[in-house]
Amino acid sequence: MGEGIQFIEIIFFAMVAVFIILRLRSVLGRRTGNEPPRTKPFVHGRTQQDEDDNVVSLPDRQRADDSGPEPESDLPLGTAADGVREIRAMDPTFQPDEFAAGARTAYDMVLASFAAGDVDTLRALLDDDVYTNFQHAIADRESRGETLETTLVAVKTGDIVEARAVGRMAEVTVKFVAELVNVTRDKDGEVLSGDPRVVQNTTDYWTFARDVRSSDPNWKLIATRSEN
């Protein structure tokens, strides 16, 4: 009887693992088979971040030859457009609109995972250095018995503001203007910082990167900085 229950538990956890993998693939991207394809952790008190932080991944992309050339009107404005063209020259499947949509999803997932201490999800979304910083921040918070409550009220904008190709690497920076509620509580549930009744207006710049020659289609967060 005990062995039967143990077998059922193994099947259950395997199903959960498959669900998580499929969720991440839908957010971070999937290869079509036709591709050529930190700062310190995000502190919800809106502390200025180091410009060496990490970035995220994006949704499924269609082949450029299926969707046709991207209209100029869909490209970001200014120097970002030039960078997008450089990236598309290396990877014709790159679609700025789809990237921006996926970046918004990643933004939500990273904030929620950091608050919840979900290092497994963060591992899939962050560059190695950024992940290490996030992991240390979570461990420090937990060692003090503190909890972080983060509510993403709205992402007002999430636009590509910078893009460039550096060797075989593509780097894209997205400006997020959002409304957040952040509250840090001590082990007794008392508020240490933030206010559950106050919505904060925030402006963050997150940079995502990907090796376009890699078989891994996912982008990762490599840097973050904040205006707040």
Q: For position 72, what pLDDT does the model report?
A: 52
Per-residue pLDDT band for 109 (boundaries 50, 70, 90) equals: very high
Q: For position 79, what pLDDT does the model report?
A: 73
Percent of the chain at pLDDT > 70 equals 65
Question: Are 52 and 129 a contacting pair, CB within 8 Å?
Answer: yes
* pTM reported for the whole predicted model: 0.68
Q: For position 228, what pLDDT does the model report?
A: 65
Report, as an integer, the average pLDDT of 12-18.
44
Strands 191-194 and 147-166 turn out to be unpaired
User: In this predicted model, what pLDDT tens digit does every residue of 167-200 receive, in sequence order?
Assistant: 999 999 999 999 999 999 999 999 999 999 999 9
Q: For position 137, what pLDDT does the model report?
A: 96
Give the residue with greater pLDDT, 92 vs 72: 92
CA–CA gap between residue 94 and residue 83 (Å, rounded): 12
Question: Residue 81 is encoded by which pair of tokens?
Answer: 């457009």
SS3 string, the chain, reads CHHHHHHHHHHHHHHHHHHHHHHHHHHHCCCCCCCCCCCCCCCCCCCCCCCCCEECCCCCCCCHHHHCCCCHHHCCCCHHHHHHHHHHHHCCCCCHHHHHHHHHHHHHHHHHHHHHCCHHHHHHHECHHHHHHHHHHHHHHHHCCCEEEEEEEEEEEEEEEEEEEECCEEEEEEEEEEEEEEEEECCCCCEEEECCCCCEEEEEEEEEEEECCCCCCCCEEEEEEECC
Domains, the chain, ranges and CATH? Answer: 36-226 (3.10.450.240)
- Residues whose CB falls within 8 Å of the CB of residue 214, separated by 6 or more in sequence, listed in order: 37
Q: For position 27, what pLDDT does the model report?
A: 40
